Amino acid sequence: MTSAILLVGGRGTRLSPITDQIPKPMLPIAGLPVTEHQILAAKKAGVKTLVLATSYLAEVFTPYFGDGSKWGIDLRYAIEKEPLGTGGAIAHAAAELNESEKETVLIFNGDVISDHDISAQIATHQKSSADVTLHLIQVEDARAFGSVPTDSQGRVIAFLEKMDQPITNWINAGCYIFNRAVIDSIPRGIVTSVERETFPALISADRRIFGYKENSYWLDIGTPLALFKASRDRVKARFSAHPTAHIDSSALLSGGTFIGAQATIASGATLDNCIVSEGAVVAESAHLSRCFLAPGAIVKSNAVYKDRYMSIEKNLPITFI
């Protein structure tokens, strides 16, 4: 395994207004963008070349990740003028890889935080001579997801849409291993969804689609509830802060709050389960709960906010769905 494609070009509608200025994969979880968590996981699994498939707010990624040398990987960019959907994005990004780099490709939905063992997923893929191997995760209630039943050998037998009584609670976790032949079969330049078109078509054509089942920590951060949960889970303490943050000793931070670089938290402020980006300021005795502060946001003294998105220009409610 030498290469990977990260799908990071979606609009992130469900996280609006947080995603109006920051693309979903760049949202910070415990101080690192989701994409950086994924790059680190890919690197651990031996990935050396990685393509970021960007579209919406594509310009935000390059200044942060550059050529990838900071992470010891060869990082390339594939920018879609118009979003091509998850399948079209894979076909478009694969053009940045040469034939041998395309042999076995790790593909990540850019909004997933996962601790699963990617090397074990690759081993399963190779052992079963699969065309595609999907990471599957078991959820308590699969009604909100499409479900993915497998046979006793782990071979995927269907890719089912959401339903009231799912026949299995194993769902697609958004991390795949693709063979070159499958990548090459996705039409170029056409909007295509891997979930709705490519996978069902491959199953109908009797191709070897396998599931890799692992129930380690996994979260799709696509909704506000999940975003704040991921932050709370990954901070793993009452709070965490960048070393350059200024936090008054009388401030009370809880619920896995993260304070970014050069941010200031003044005396008497309380913050519960908040994400505070770099350079933001929370003045004296402000009380914030489940708020996202964009870079440079300013919260006035004594302000009391719950479930808000704040930037330099805006102060908007976040709708929890």
The binding site for ligand GTP (CB under 6 A) comprises: 7-14, 24-25, 53-55, 80, 83-86, 89, 109-111, 222
CA angle 260, 243, 112 (to 5 degrees): 45
CB 294 to ligand GTP: min, Å: 18
DSSP string, 99-164: TTTTSEEEEEETTEEE---HHHHHHHHHHTT-SEEEEEEE-S-GGGS-B--B-TTSBB---BPP-S
Residues 6+ apart with CB under 8 A from 91: 84, 183, 186, 187, 188, 189, 192
Q: Which is nearer to ligand GTP, 10 or 31 (CB)?
A: 10
Q: Which two tokens stand for residue 147?
A: 């479900």
Judge whether 74 and 96 are in contact, CB under 8 Å.
no
CB 229 to ligand GTP: min, Å: 16
Q: Which is nearer to ligand GTP, 222 or 256 (CB)?
A: 222
- Three-class SS of residue 16? coil
Query: Which of the 8 DSSP states describes residue 51?
Result: E
CB 108 to ligand GTP: min, Å: 8
Q: Which is nearer to ligand GTP, 26 or 288 (CB)?
A: 26
Q: Which is nearer to ligand GTP, 89 or 142 (CB)?
A: 89
CB 243 to ligand GTP: min, Å: 30
Q: Which is nearer to ligand GTP, 82 or 115 (CB)?
A: 82
Residue whose C-alpha is closest to residue 108's, from 198, 60, 40: 40
CB 23 to ligand GTP: min, Å: 7
Q: Which is nearer to ligand GTP, 7 or 241 (CB)?
A: 7
CB 259 to ligand GTP: min, Å: 26
Q: Are strands 170-179 and 104-109 parallel, antiparallel or unpaired?
A: antiparallel
CA angle 9, 87, 319 (to 5 degrees): 45
Query: Which of the 8 DSSP states describes residue 47?
Result: -
Q: Which is nearer to ligand GTP, 14 or 234 (CB)?
A: 14
Helix (H) or strand (E) holding 289: strand 287-289
Q: Which is nearer to ligand GTP, 10 or 211 (CB)?
A: 10
CB 114 to ligand GTP: min, Å: 13
Q: Dihedral of CA 193/144/256/316: which sign?
A: positive
CB 191 to ligand GTP: min, Å: 7
Backbone angles phi, psi at 258, to 5 degrees: -120, 135
